[in-house]
Every structure is written in C-alpha cells, then in structure tokens.
Amino acid sequence: MSIRNIIRGDIDQDGVVEADDALAIERAYVDAIAGRDPGITDLQKNISDATCDGQVNARDAQYTLQYYVDSLSMKEIDWDDLLYLDRKQPIETVESFSQDNE
C-alpha cells in the first residue's frame, strides 16, 4: 500500500500549488456551469475546493492563484490565514490528507 500526501489546491497532484492548478480549477468550474463534464475526479474536486464549502467555483481558483503568488514571494503560506481574510471565523482546515494509490 502506497500513501501519498495531497495538498489543497494541487489539482494535478504534482506536489506543488502553481498557476496551472488555478487555471485547471477555473476550467473545471466553467465546464460545469456550461453543462459540460468538468473532467475531474471526486478526489480532484475535493482538492480543488480551497474554501472547503463543498463547491468548486471561481473563488477556489482565485484563492489557489493567491496561494501560488504568495509562495513566489517566499512568504510563509497558510491556507487558514489566506482564507481568514474573507471570513469572520477561521475555517476547518484540511491542509492535506492521505489516499491509497489504486
């Protein structure tokens, strides 16, 4: 059994949150609202839900891009701090979780 670490926002699961991840999240959202298959797995949907509100939408892409930009500036990045700016209370954190490879 192999276990891999999954990072919130890392839709391509390459171990790094990048601008390409934000773009992929945005594409999946646009496809979904246009009535097309978003082309992502349930695991990728969970990973893409940066705001942990049970939906994948433009806000998730926006926060994923902001996370990436902050990482470029060498800032210490924390999803809760990033999302707290838009909320009155911190959200429940699922920074990463493990999944068995199939």
Distance from the Cα of residue 15 to its chain's centroid: 12
Domains and CATH numbers, the chain: 3-97 (1.10.1330.10)
Going by C-alpha positions, the residue among 84, 101, 69 that lies closest to residue 93 is: 84
The 10s digit of each residue's pLDDT in 53-81 is 999 999 999 999 999 998 898 777 777 77
The 10s digit of each residue's pLDDT in 9-44 is 999 999 999 999 999 999 999 999 999 999 999 999
DSSP secondary structure string, 11-28? TT-SSS--HHHHHHHHHH
How far apart CA 97 and CA 102 sit, in angstroms, is 16
**Residue reference for tokens 């996370």:** 67
